[in-house]
């Protein structure tokens, strides 16, 4: 059948099973929106306040559902406003397809109004991008883009198209998703990069070698990284950990890879890792990292990281092996597939003395609790008490993010939505909205700080308009807490440019957007406000006053040995 | 840290706009200056071959090649060991030679190097020479006694000796096994 490029694009989205798109229209993408109008019974478009919000929403949707998120934006500033969202998705391996339109063929390359080379700009932050110049390659490009985004190590893809492509009519042949791999660009790509589209079969000899290493180990330790979450490998990972009988530390991206209160869980590892996690990494004789790239926040000092251990890396991405830390053995493959193979071969191990040693160290930070004030731990204990256990938590970046990961015990992959790699302040609200849209039956909360919230609080209007009930908790210390913490500890308390003694009044701001808000200063008020938010059932903002000088503990400064705690 | 040495990589890529910048970006992002770069199509016009030389140690060369392989327009990457490969480039040297005596001298030098004179004017001679960097450096050093007006080089192209080719992935497994020290 003959369709316009815009219609072909949307037909291709339907082929992928897309029913939700986040975006923002503009001049060059108008044909697409005009066509989308005709499909509005099948595809729901969520209009955000800003393209960045849309990009984070599509990302939050993808992370929480495991499906590919989709985000639309126009050319020029619309496209560049996506870049922070694209980079965020890239660093955390989140599958999102970004669709942008560029100026028409007759205007491209002439510095036309709202023209920008977005495929050039997004090259370092996309897994793949493509500029569609001819309507005949549009369907092929979209099918290829989706396959690339979700396959192998997932990641964001950007497809840019000229405005005239969206208006030109061309033949469109519907093709079921299962057939895509047999056609066009995708067929050629699969032919030569088969591993990218079908995770490599774990090498049997590699598996056997690791089994032998585990048998020989007296003090094994596991790191649960984002790969466990992305491959939804919790069951296999948990069984593996139990069979090896090893303590398990999570990275920021690994939250939910194992049940948070598992008796094997030692909590987070690295810069703000627990004593138990960091001491175990330092003392173990075998460290098995699953889906973890040893970032500088985990392996703070690569040369001395787990220096007494044989380090084993299990990763789907070959280029991660030996990138940050020199390993002794590695297995290439999807985390779940590799762990299932290991589970079949490995018999029950027993490491009680080693576990006793590791768990003699703290697995959670203690605070001076008092009824007159709120501490991070109290906040997350109250949340755990009052909200359903499967509540999805989206965070922004900073102290509140670390506290959320330290004190909210995540139980399943996709429960924690956080910008771990890129550290994007302003990520949380958009991501929470996307998560709620993708999981309408679950409670979704947004944990933020006053600094992060100010960055993209404009999305409260999206929350109100579409009635997406998210509870925002602002851990409000009236400062840029994490930076202040560094100033406090490393920069001799010169608190320059980090004090946020300014508006707005967050309660009034929520009300101005048509939502409700409460300011709370102690546990009793906190719990009352949480109950009110749950009863009300719409968007709600709770401004939680916490101590300006509350710090994230423990802390090891960047580049230091993992057990050199600056703060306990 | 291993020894830093000049490393050649041959990369087969889709012959498309933007692919070269994608490949070179990977080097610049990691702070590698490209010492030599040569690009041209292969026997298949849809595929180009890029030969890149950088100063890197073995670990980093491996990381770079792994990351190159991740790019979708890249078909294959091969690290070429200097012992097992042939490396050549073409250089053009334009020399001022205004007298018959000087011209004769330049022609003699060119003959010794088996270079060819490809252009002559009343005031100059242009010489073309094929060789690796040792040979091209040698002729350049000798010709410096004359006034060297201009020099252009193609960049090194390289290929493995014998039957091995870039498309046969025979060495790949060995390369990836490098980091395995558990035995």
Sequential pLDDT tens for chain A (568 residues):
899 999 999 999 999 999 999 999 999 999 999 999 999 999 999 999 999 999 999 999 999 999 999 999 999 999 999 999 999 999 999 999 999 999 999 999 999 999 999 999 999 999 999 999 999 999 999 999 999 999 999 999 999 999 999 999 999 999 999 999 999 999 988 887 777 888 888 899 999 999 999 999 999 999 999 999 999 999 999 999 999 999 999 999 999 999 999 999 999 999 999 999 999 999 999 999 999 999 999 999 999 999 999 999 999 998 999 999 999 999 999 999 999 999 999 999 999 999 999 999 999 988 887 778 899 999 999 999 999 999 999 999 999 999 999 999 999 999 999 999 999 999 999 999 999 999 999 999 999 999 999 999 999 999 999 999 999 999 999 999 999 999 999 999 999 999 999 999 999 999 999 999 999 999 999 999 999 999 999 999 999 999 999 999 999 999 999 999 999 8
The three-state (H, E, C) secondary structure of A123-156, written as one string: HHHCCEEEEECCHHHHHHHHHHHHHHHHCCCCCC
Q: Do A119 and B18 touch (CB under 8 A)?
A: yes
Short-list A99, A86, A73, A184, CA closest to A127: A86
A310: nearest CA partner in chain B: B182
Is A453 one of the catalytic residues? Answer: no
Calpha distance A73→A79 (Å, rounded): 6
Catalytic residue (choose from A15, A115, A163, A279): A163
User: How many Cβ pairs within 8 Å bridge chains A and B?
Assistant: 53
Nearest to A322 among B21, B29, B59 (CB): B59
Q: Do B181 and A209 touch (CB under 8 A)?
A: no
Q: What are phi and psi of B116, to 5 degrees?
A: -115, 145
Query: What are A's interface residues with B at a Cβ cutoff of 8 A?
Result: 119-120, 123-124, 127-128, 148, 189, 192-193, 196, 209, 213, 310, 312, 317-319, 321-323, 326-330, 332
Calpha distance A289→A567 (Å, rounded): 26
Residue carrying the six token digits 């949380």: A428
A149: nearest CA partner in chain B: B72
Q: Do B72 and A189 touch (CB under 8 A)?
A: yes
Q: Do A148 and B72 touch (CB under 8 A)?
A: yes
Helix (H, G, I), strand (E, B) or coil at A4: strand
What are the angstrom distances between the C-alpha of A484 and each of A103, A298, A399?
Answer: 44, 21, 10
Is A463 one of the catalytic residues? Answer: no
Single pTM value for the model: 0.94
Give just the sign of the alpha carbon dihedral A367, A369, A373, A378.
positive
Q: Do B182 and A328 touch (CB under 8 A)?
A: yes
Short-list A154, A178, A103, CA closest to A133: A103
Would you say B159 and B40 are in contact if contact means Cβ atoms under 8 Å apart? no
Which residues pair with residue A99 across a beta bridge?
Answer: A72, A159
A355 Cβ neighbours under 8 A, 6+ residues apart: A245, A246, A247, A264
Q: Which residues of B touch A326 (CB under 8 A)?
A: 179
Write down the H helix ranges in A466-522.
481-489, 506-512
Q: Do B18 and A123 touch (CB under 8 A)?
A: yes
pLDDT in tens, A358-397: 999 999 988 887 778 899 999 999 999 999 999 999 999 9
| Distance from chain centroid for Cα B145 | 27
Q: Which two tokens stand for residue A421?
A: 């790699």
Pairing of strands A69-73, B34-41: unpaired
Domains and CATH numbers, chain B: 5-84+161-179 (3.30.70.260), 87-157 (3.30.70.1150)
B75–A contact, CB cutoff 8 A: yes
Domains and CATH numbers, chain A: 2-196 (3.40.50.970), 204-358 (3.40.50.1220), 376-545 (3.40.50.970)
Q: What are phi and psi of A397, to 5 degrees?
A: -130, 135
Calpha distance B90→B130 (Å, rounded): 4
Would you say A200 and A228 are in contact if contact means Cβ atoms under 8 Å apart? no
Is A313 one of the catalytic residues? Answer: no
Nearest to A329 among B70, B75, B180 (CB): B180
- Candidates A192, A220, A316: best to mutate against B (most CBs of B within 10 A) is A192
Q: What are phi and psi of A131, to 5 degrees?
A: -105, 115
Neighbours of A494 (CB within 10 A): 9
Q: Which residues of B touch A148 (CB under 8 A)?
A: 72
Calpha distance B89→B37 (Å, rounded): 10
The three-state (H, E, C) secondary structure of B90-131, written as one string: EEEEEEECCCHHHHHHHHHHHHHCCCEEEEECCCEEEEEEEE
- Candidates A319, A320, A329, A330: best to mutate against B (most CBs of B within 10 A) is A319
B180: closest CA of chain A, how far (Å)? 5
B64: nearest CA partner in chain A: A319
Would you say A429 and A472 are in contact if contact means Cβ atoms under 8 Å apart? yes
- CA torsion A337-A342-A344-A346 (nearest 10°) is -170
Nearest to A329 among B62, B69, B182 (CB): B182
Short-list A124, A179, A118, A100, CA closest to A147: A179
Q: Which residues of A touch B29 (CB under 8 A)?
A: 124
User: Quick one: what percent of chain B has pLDDT higher than 70?
Assistant: 91
Q: Do A330 and B180 touch (CB under 8 A)?
A: yes
R_g of chain B, CA atoms, integer Å: 20
At residue B168 the predicted structure's pLDDT band, cuts being 50, 70 and 90, is: low
Short-list A67, A65, A55, A64, CA closest to A22: A55
Is A2 one of the catalytic residues? Answer: no
Residue carrying the six token digits 């965070």: A395
pLDDT, residue B169, reads 53
DSSP A512: H
A294: closest CA of chain B, how far (Å)? 15
Calpha distance A531→A526 (Å, rounded): 9
Q: Which residues of B touch A312 (CB under 8 A)?
A: 182
Q: Do B21 and A323 touch (CB under 8 A)?
A: no
Calpha distance A270→A555 (Å, rounded): 8
Q: Which two tokens stand for residue A43?
A: 């595809």
Is A182 one of the catalytic residues? Answer: no
Q: Do B67 and A124 touch (CB under 8 A)?
A: no
B151–A contact, CB cutoff 8 A: no
């Amino acid at each position: 059948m003959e369709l316009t490029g815009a219609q072909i694009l949307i037909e291709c989205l339907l082929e992928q099973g897309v029913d939700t798109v986040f975006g923002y229209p503009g001049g060059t993408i108008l044909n697409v929106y005009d066509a989308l109008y005709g499909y509005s019974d099948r595809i729901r478009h969520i209009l955000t306040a800003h393209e960045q919000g849309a990009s984070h929403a599509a990302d939050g949707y993808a992370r929480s559902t495991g499906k590919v998120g989709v985000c639309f934006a126009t050319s020029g500033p619309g496209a560049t406003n996506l870049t922070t969202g694209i980079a965020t998705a890239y660093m955390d391996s989140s599958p999102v397809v970004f669709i942008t339109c560029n100026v028409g063929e007759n205007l491209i390359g002439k510095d036309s109004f709202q023209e920008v080379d977005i495929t050039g700009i997004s090259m370092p932050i996309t897994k793949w991008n493509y500029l569609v110049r001819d309507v005949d390659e549009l369907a092929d490009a979209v099918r290829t883009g989706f396959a690339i985004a979700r396959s192998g190590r997932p990641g964001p893809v950007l497809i840019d198209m000229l405005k005239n492509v969206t208006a030109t009519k061309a033949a469109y042949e519907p093709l079921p998703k299962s057939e895509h791999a047999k056609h066009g660009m995708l067929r050629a790509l699969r032919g030569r990069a088969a591993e990218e589209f079908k995770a490599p079969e774990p090498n049997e000899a590699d598996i056997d070698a690791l089994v032998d290493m585990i048998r020989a180990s007296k003090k094994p330790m596991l790191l649960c990284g984002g790969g466990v979450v992305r491959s939804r490998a919790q069951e296999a990972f948990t069984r593996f950990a139990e069979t090896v009988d090893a303590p398990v530390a999570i990275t920021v991206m690994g939250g939910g890879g194992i049940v948070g209160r598992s008796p094997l869980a030692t909590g987070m590892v690295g810069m703000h890792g627990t004593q138990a996690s960091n001491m175990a990494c330092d003392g173990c004789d075998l460290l098995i990292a699953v889906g973890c790239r040893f970032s500088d926040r985990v392996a703070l000092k690569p040369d001395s990281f787990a220096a007494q251990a044989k380090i084993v890396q299990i990763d789907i991405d070959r280029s991660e092996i030996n990138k940050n830390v020199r390993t002794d053995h590695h297995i290439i493959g999807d985390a779940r597939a590799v762990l299932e193979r290991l589970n079949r071969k490995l018999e029950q191990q027993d490491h009680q003395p080693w576990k006793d040693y590791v768990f003699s160290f703290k697995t959670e930070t203690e605070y001076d609790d008092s009824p007159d004030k709120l501490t991070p731990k109290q906040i997350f204990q109250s949340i755990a008490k009052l909200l359903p256990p499967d509540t999805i938590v989206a965070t922004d970046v900073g102290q509140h993010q670390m506290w959320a990961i330290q004190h909210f015990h995540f139980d399943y992959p996709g429960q924690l939505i956080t910008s771990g790699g890129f550290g994007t302040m302003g990520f949380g609200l958009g991501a929470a909205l996307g998560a709620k849209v993708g999981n309408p039956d679950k409670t979704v909360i947004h944990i933020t700080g006053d600094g992060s919230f100010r960055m993209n609080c404009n999305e409260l209007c999206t929350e109100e308009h579409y009635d997406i009930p998210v509870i925002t908790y602002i851990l409000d210390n009236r400062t840029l807490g994490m930076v202040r913490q560094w100033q406090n500890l490393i920069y001799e308390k010169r608190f320059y440019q980090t004090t946020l003694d300014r508006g707005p009044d967050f309660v009034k701001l929520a009300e101005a957007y048509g939502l409700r808000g409460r300011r709370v200063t102690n546990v009793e008020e906190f719990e009352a406000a949480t109950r009110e938010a749950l009863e009300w059932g719409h968007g709600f903002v709770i401004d939680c006053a916490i101590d300006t000088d509350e710090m994230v503990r423990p802390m090891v400064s960047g580049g230091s040995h993992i057990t050199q705690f600056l703060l306990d | 840290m291993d020894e830093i040495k000049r490393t050649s990589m041959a990369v087969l890529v889709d012959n498309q706009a933007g692919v070269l910048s994608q490949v070179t970006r990977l080097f610049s992002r990691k702070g590698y200056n490209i010492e030599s770069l040569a690009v041209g199509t292969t026997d298949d016009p849809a595929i180009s071959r890029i030969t890149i030389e950088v100063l890197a140690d073995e670990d980093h060369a491996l990381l770079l090649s792994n990351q190159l392989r991740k790019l979708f327009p890249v078909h294959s990457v091969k690290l070429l060991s200097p012992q097992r490969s042939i490396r050549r480039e073409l250089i053009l040297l334009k020399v001022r030679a205004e007298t018959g005596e000087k011209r004769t001298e330049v022609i003699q030098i060119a003959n010794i190097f088996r270079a060819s004179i490809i252009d002559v004017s009343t005031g100059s001679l242009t010489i073309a020479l094929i060789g690796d960097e040792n040979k091209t450096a040698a002729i350049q050093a000798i010709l410096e006694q004359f006034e060297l007006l201009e020099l252009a080089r193609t960049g090194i192209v390289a290929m493995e000796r014998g039957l091995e080719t870039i498309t046969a992935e025979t060495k790949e497994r060995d390369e990836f096994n490098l980091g395995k020290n558990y035995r």
